[in-house]
Structure 1
Amino acid sequence: MRPGFTGATIDRADRLRSDPEALAAAMGDWRARVLMLSGLDPVIEEGRLRWASIADAPPKADLVLLGLIDGKPHFVAIPDQPQGTTGRPPHIFGLLAQLPADEMALYGAARAMVEWHMRHRHCPVCGGATRPFKGGWGRRCESCGAEHFPRTDPVVIMLAEHDGDVLLGRGLGWPEGRYSALAGFVEPGESIEEAVARELLEESGVRVCDVRYVASQPWPFPSQLMIACTCRAGGRALDMDATELADLIWATRDEVRAALKGEPGRFIAPPPFAIAHTLLTHWAG
Structure 2
Amino acid sequence: MRHAETVTFGGSGLDRAAELRSDGDALAELKANPTSRSIVLWRGKPLVCGERRDVLVRLEMAHPLLKHAVETPLFLGQEEAGAIFAHDVSSWEPETVDQEALQSFFDQSEQHHDTVPEDHVFSELRAVMSGLNARDAELAATARAIQSWHRSHRFCAICGHESARAMGGWQRDCPSCGGHHFPRTDPVVIMLITSGNKVLMGRSPGWPDGMYSLLAGFVEPGETLEAAVRREVLEEANVPVGEVRYLASQPWAFPSSLMFGCRGEALGEDIKIDPVEIEDAIWVAREEMMQAFAGQHPKLKPARKGAIAHFILRNWLADRLD
TM-score > 0.5, shorter chain as reference: yes
In structure 1, runs of 5+ residues without a counterpart are: none
Matched, 1:201 2:234: yes
1:108 correspondence with 2:112: no
Is the CA contact 1:255–1:265 (under 8 Å) kept in the aligned structure 2? no
State the AA in 2 paired with 1:110: A
Q: Which amino acid is the alignment partner of residue 6 of structure 1?
A: G
| 2:294 paired residue among 252, 261, 264 | 261
What does residue 61 of structure 1 align with? Answer: 71
**Does the residue aligned with 2:283 lie in a helix, a strand or coil?**
strand
Indicate if the aligned counterparts of 1:169 and 1:247 stay in contact, CA closer than 8 A: yes
Return the offset for 1:43: 1.6
Shift of 1:99: 2.4
Number of residue pairs matched by the alignment: 285
The structure that is strand-richer by fraction is 1
With over 3 angstroms needed to count, the CA separation of the structure-2 counterparts of 1:111 and 1:22, relative to structure 1, is: same
Deviations 1:53-76 (A, max 9, x none): 212323642111011111411111
Q: Is the 8 A contact 1:154 1:224 kept in 2?
A: yes
Partner of residue 33, structure 1: 37
1:90 to 106, 131, 139: 106
Look up the match of 1:184. 217
Give the residue type in structure 2 aligned to 1:155: V
> Is residue 255–residue 266 contact of structure 1 (8 Å, CA) maintained in 2?
no
Structure 1 segment 1-285 matched on structure 2, within 5 A: 1=3, 2-46=6-50, 47-56=54-63, 57-58=66-67, 60-78=70-88, 90-91=106-107, 92=124, 93-284=126-317, 285=319
CA shift at 1:80, angstroms? Answer: 7.9
Which 10-residue stretch deviates more, 198-207 or 43-52? 43-52
Task: Name the residue aligned to 2:111.
Answer: none
Instruction: Give the direction of change, closer, same or farther, for the CA distance of 1:265–1:213 in structure 2 (3 Å limit).
Output: farther
Superposed structure 1 runs of 4+ greater than 6 Å apart: 80-88
| Contact 1:214–1:228, Cα closer than 8 Å, also in 2 | yes
Report the TM-score, using the length of structure 2 for normalisation: 0.82
Worse-matched range after superposition: 158-167 or 178-187: 158-167
% identical aligned pairs: 40
Q: 1:152 to 1:82 in 2, by over 3 A?
A: farther
Deviates more, 1:51-60 or 1:102-111: 51-60
Cα RMSD after superposing both structures: 2.3
TM-score by length of 1: 0.92
Letter of the 1:90 partner, please give it: F
